[in-house]
Chain A
């Protein structure tokens, strides 16, 4: 009985004083220290790891005598081991350990504080920017977003612990709703940037201009340009280029969607290659066919798609 009581007391003490530090769902630090505190060396190593994980500037550290300091995000924290003095941006407090909550606040890091747990975001959105056909999201950390297209809106949903404007969104929470009559066509991910390409399902052109690839002299101004020639049953569409900084992506996305549908319907290969005769930022493709009589069927199917 006595042993059981002793065990319960010890367990209780652990629950009361233990402290876990998470980045998203990832446990980064766990100890039986006084709630929400950690040793100086653990703190320094955590900040170094966190800045690396989030692709933020690394902290600088140093020491003068027994005074150790860390400079990060425009703020300085320091700790004098012998005198147990702790400094946050010039303000001193007597403490043997790092008061994490004070420091995170000083560093202007958003966090969620629960009983014996602190959770930092694993994604920090710095900006959501929308133009006509593109939504750009710049961020630090890892991509923890999903997108749901609903009628006349696109919802950005958190899949992790995502911060924006100092607020943290937990998994499943809606971060933002963007009103638009367009749909999501593609999501392109680069380190620190998610670019969502939107398109309107109704195509701007409904007219199809079919021309023999070899005989093209002057490209007509309007209509979907369907170039064709003899070949090995494939469709070729133009790729986009970094030189256009995204302005050619919506047309590329529409071209690819139409080409995929035609390729599936007529069992053709789909090739992406910037052919000179394919005009830039224009709905167009080249179809190479082993049986040239199929072009009229393809033209009819394309007209149906554009309707």
Chain B
């Protein structure tokens, strides 16, 4: 009995302070696979980037490791600064799906954020790598669901 109480006391803070976060990976058909993970510390965005770059078995991810340089919140917008070296060599498809995976995950977990801005190496740039336009903000309404529909 005493042992059970001890286990309960140890687990109680974990249960109380853990929060659930949803990470979006991709299956072999490039469809989104959501995975729920617990995390109790404060630096949630670093945790999300770390998990996005480390897909669970049976899934894949286009988010590379060591990508996030910095981030900051401005009212209802989130600005994320990425490391260009981590994005080197990604192709057209990977660049788009990287954006979808990242934004879908951010908007799912940060309900108070209305838009996301991306900078690279601390500077505003026209393109993320070669194709995706990052001059303007990305709105919640588009990425609050998966932005690809239809087809077979």
The reply to whether B133 and A275 form a contact with Cβ atoms under 8 Å apart is yes
What's the nearest-Cβ distance from chain B to residue A230, in Å?
A: 11
A234 touches B151 (CB 8 A): yes
Number of B residues with CB within 8 Å of any CB on chain A: 24
Interface residues of B in 127-152 (CB under 8 A from A): 127, 131-133, 136-139, 141-142, 147-152
Tell yes or no: A185 within 8 A of B by CB.
no
Is A269 part of the binding interface, using a Cβ–Cβ cutoff of 8 Å?
Answer: yes
Contact partners of A201 in chain B: CB under 8 A: none
Residues on A with C-beta less than 8 A from B139 are 239-242
Closest A residue, CB atoms, query B114:
A242
**B151 touching A263, Cβ below 8 Å:** yes
Judged by a CB distance under 8 angstroms, whether B65 is at the interface is: no
When the two chains form their complex, are residues A277 and B131 in contact, meaning their CB atoms are under 8 A apart? yes
- Contact across chains for B150 and A270 when beta carbons are under 8 A apart: yes
B96 contacts the other chain (Cβ, under 8 Å)?
A: yes
* CB pair B132 A273 closer than 8 Å: yes
Neighbour of B151 across the interface among A188, A240, A269, CB < 8 A? A269
A267 contacts B152, C-beta separation under 8 Å: yes
Which residues of chain B have C-beta atoms less than 8 A from A264's C-beta?
A: 150
Q: CA A274 – CA B147 in complex, angstroms?
A: 11
Say whether A136 faces chain B, with CB atoms less than 8 Å apart. Answer: no
Alpha-carbon distance between A242 and B78 when the two chains are bound, in angstroms: 13
8 Å CB contacts to A: which residues of B112-138? 114-115, 126-127, 131-133, 136-138
Interfacial chain B residues near A242, Cβ < 8 Å: 77, 114-115, 136-137, 139
Which of the residues B131, B138, B151 comes within 8 Å of A241, measured between beta carbons? B138
Known: A242-B115, A276-B131, A276-B133. A270 touches B138 (CB 8 A): no
Q: Shortest distance in angstroms between B146's beta carbon and chain A's nearest beta carbon?
A: 10
- A interface residues (Cβ-Cβ under 8 A, vs B): 188, 232-234, 236, 238-244, 260, 263-264, 267-278
Top 7 nearest A-B pairs (CB, nearest first) are A269-B151, A241-B136, A276-B133, A272-B147, A274-B133, A243-B136, A271-B148
